[in-house]
Amino acid sequence: MPKIQNRENLASPAGEYPLRDHALTILESGLEAIDTEKVLRKKLTYKQGTLCIDGQDFICHTADRIFFVGIGKCANAGAEVIEEILGDDLTEGIVVDTKTGVFKNMRSFAGTHPLPTERNIEASKAVVSMLEKATEKDLVIVFISGGGSALLCLPHQMNCEELADITKKLMEKGADIHEVNTVRKHLSKIQGGQLAKIAYPATIISLIFSDVPGDDISVIASGPTVPDVTTTEDAERILAKYEIRNICLKPNCEIIETPKENRYFEKVSNLLILSNRDALKAMKETSEKLGYDTEIVTNILTGEAKDIGEQIANEKVGAKTCKLYGGETTVNLPEGVFGEGGRNQEFSLSALLHINDDELVVSCASDGRDNTDALGGIADKTTKEKAKANGLDPGNFLTSHTSYDFFKKTESQIITGETGSNVSDLIIKLTK
């Protein structure tokens, strides 16, 4: 079943504007390539007590018990495959996603994202309680995906609302994911390698699906099983940079250090299973089949969505060209402005103001939700014409940060629902 649910409505009439049809085909191939269930079934096998992960063997039959922890917006999909593969050899597990799942030997928790609530804390306490039972003879398999920083939430010396407020203010002021997660680690009792410390001395295998530009595994879901190189001084510096420490932190709130002792990580294998590189590679192959001169420009794109959208739209490229980008931009909201839309729709709206009629730009959230029910918006000639016909000024919508409303009114939103994947954002620029 195709990932893009409204493709028929988005397709250009009688193929009049083939760029739009081609962009949707290219995007569909990228989303298929990062489908969590398909990726795990391809890369994992389990035979006679040996778990083979992407060609690397792990002996499981010597373990007294096998525990599983699934974290993030792809956790349910990952847990389903793991439970099916391990069967009755799986002792117990906990899955923390944005929605509940149904499992035989695992408990399922539905937390909130992007900001944590008490539901997330309840789930995180259950994870701690289970892992504290683990011994040196046990194996813990951890599945980590995007959204895990919010879903796996156990704050130190503060309540959930206070931590959510800090996270929200950092995002609003334009802090990037590395900065946000550095602060999260040092306000948490479970992130920044602390999950590995809780499960110590058990053996840990972490299967990591990256949603972070550059694939730094210590940043993905705030690195619960990864040694952390950041310090309390780094967290303090970020809070000072965005001028929120005195606003958000109570005087008695301690910024804590993450585990630095090597012993907690000697029996931990952190395996990067999937990233946006996989999506971009599939998209490049599809684009070339469609006849485009194709380049993957970068998979670590960052910056203000409005500025980067304009920059990419203004780049001069040759005819029949496809430029592909992966990464994660940010939106710095002015004080008191609360628009609707996400960085991807804002990116595309900014690009719309600068592209020519023989060009197309689209920026997409790979998890299917650009802070709304839309994955992203299409910037092309068709969108321009619909805006003009409806008397819509794209610049006004960009200024008010209401990109969602603009693309909805121009019927240029891409709708997928939750895609079952999360590897940061995917951006396409096409020319005739």
Are 218 and 353 part of one and the same domain? no
Per-residue model confidence as pLDDT tens digits over 90-108: 999 999 999 999 999 999 9
Beta-carbon contacts of residue 14 (< 8 Å; ≥ 6 apart): none
CB atoms closer than 10 angstroms to residue 8: 8
Cβ–Cβ < 8 Å for 320, 432: yes
Q: Is the pTM of this model over 0.85?
A: yes
Are 47 and 176 part of one and the same domain? yes
Mean pLDDT computed over 11-36: 88
Are 157 and 224 part of one and the same domain? yes
Are 96 and 166 part of one and the same domain? yes
Per-residue model confidence as pLDDT tens digits over 164-180: 889 888 988 888 889 99
At 101 the pLDDT is 95
Q: Among residues 257, 274, 291, which one ends one of the domains? A: 274
Confidence of residue 15 (pLDDT cuts 50, 70, 90): low
Q: Which domain holds residue 21?
A: 7-33+276-431
What residues form DSSP beta bridges with 188?
A: 155
Are 217 and 315 part of one and the same domain? no
Q: Among residues 274, 299, 320, which one ends one of the domains? A: 274
Encoding tokens for residue 127?
Answer: 């994870």
For residue 402, the number of C-alpha atoms closer than 13 Å in the C-beta half-sphere is 14
Task: Calculate the average pLDDT of the chain.
Answer: 94
Cβ–Cβ < 8 Å for 167, 160: no
User: Would you call 219 exposed, middle or buried from its count of C-beta atoms within 10 A (0-12, 13-18, 19+)?
Assistant: buried
What is the total count of domains within the chain?
A: 2
Q: Among residues 240, 274, 308, which one ends one of the domains? A: 274
Kindly state whether residue 160 falls inside one of the protein's structural domains.
Answer: yes
Are 369 and 287 part of one and the same domain? yes
pLDDT reading at 13 higher than 70: no
Q: How far apart are the first and last CA of the chain?
A: 29
At 112 the pLDDT is 94
Kindly state whether residue 347 falls inside one of the protein's structural domains.
Answer: yes
Q: What is the CATH number of the domain that holds 250?
A: 3.40.50.10180
Per-residue model confidence as pLDDT tens digits over 362-398: 999 999 999 999 999 999 999 999 999 999 999 999 9
Are 263 and 389 part of one and the same domain? no
Q: What is the CATH number of the domain that holds 406?
A: 3.40.1480.10
Are 336 and 193 part of one and the same domain? no
Kindly state whether residue 294 falls inside one of the protein's structural domains.
Answer: yes
